[in-house]
Amino acid sequence: MKSTFMALMLEYETADIPLMACCDKYFGLSYAKAASKARHQDLPVPCFRGGSQKSEWLINAHDLAEWLDQLKEQARHDHKRLKSSAA
């Protein structure tokens, strides 16, 4: 988890990543769709506004790193399972 978190910190240079900066890359969503999901807390990570209701949506780098690590671990598990069943 440390390496994923550090990579996110290096990429975005902040612990609170603007949703606009990462919605396409990590969620495959346009900003409009991601913001709509953020309003309903429908994304796989918690989203919050930096101040007022008009502030931009943010995602904590730690939360995003944790989610990405879970995805990677699931992919490893699936890969291993498929490789062992093919043998």
Q: What is the pLDDT of residues 28-61, one digit of tens each?
A: 999 999 999 999 999 999 999 988 989 999 999 9
Domain that holds residue 56: 2-86
* Residue 46, φ and ψ in degrees, nearest 5: -65, 140
pLDDT at 72 over 80: yes
| pLDDT for residue 80 is more than 80 | yes
Number of compact structural domains in the chain: 1
Q: Tell whether the model's pLDDT for residue 85 goes beyond 90.
A: no
Provide the CATH number for the domain around residue 59.
1.10.10
Dihedral sign, Cα of residue 21, residue 4, residue 47, residue 16: negative
pTM comes to 0.90
Handedness of CA 33, 11, 79, 76 (dihedral sign): negative
DSSP symbol at 47: -
pLDDT digits (tens, 9 = 90+) for 10-28: 999 999 999 999 999 999 9
